[in-house]
Amino acid sequence: MKNLREFSIPYVGLKLGVHKFEFDIDKNFFSHFEDSPITDCKAKVKLDFEKEETFFTLKFFIDGIVNVPCDRCLEAFDKEIFGDFQCLVKFSDELAEGENDNDELIYIKREDSHIDVAQLIYEYLILCLPIQNFGCKEPGKDPRCNQTVLAHLANVGEARESEEPDPRWSELTKLKFNKN
């Protein structure tokens, strides 16, 4: 199992300027996050860590492939993902303790010597996923589609169309509204 310590960056010893880091993400990374929508992945995350006197700028560049279920037939398929994200890190002992509503600004304590980017990488990978995942362009015609699930969905749709409408709803059609 991959140890998440490699995602902890010791910024105290870094000089001012841009420092580059690369992380290879695979399915072991996601085993550390409960209820993750991603279970298998091969992605590369490049991080440009810019250290300034009073803050850091973190620029993440994500490119890879995740294995997700198709929203149409539930068959797993590989989906390409990519994304660019930026985050600012500032020092504040008070704000580091509380909740932060700003996703692009993180506060850390002055006595901290490392910044853990594992949670940020996880969240950015999730944000790279589209709202809907379709493994095929034409359902039922692609050999990757799960034909059993598609047939079941078609039968359920046909059964609903043949049902008699609920008489309670048909009474609503008799209502007349004043258009003024």
Q: What is the mean pLDDT of the chain?
A: 82
43 pLDDT more than 50: yes
Asked if 54 and 66 touch (Cβ cutoff 8 Å), the reply is no
**Distance separating alpha carbons of residues 46 and 28, to the nearest angstrom:** 18
In 3-state terms the chain splits into helix, strand, coil percentages (rounded to 5) of 25, 35, 40
The confidence band for 1, taking pLDDT boundaries of 50, 70 and 90, is: very low
Per-residue CA distances from 36 to 39, 72, 73, 86 (Å): 7, 20, 20, 22
Q: What does the angle CA 119 – CA 122 – CA 128 come to, to the nearest 5 degrees?
A: 140
- Residue predicted with more confidence, 135 or 84: 84
β-pair type (8-10, 114-116): antiparallel
Q: What is the pLDDT of residues 84-113, one digit of tens each?
A: 999 999 888 666 565 666 778 888 888 888
144 pLDDT more than 70: no
115 pLDDT more than 80: yes
138 pLDDT more than 70: no
Domain boundaries, given as residue ranges, for the chain: 4-127
Tokens 């085993």 identify what position?
31
* Cβ neighbours, 10 Å, residue 108: 20
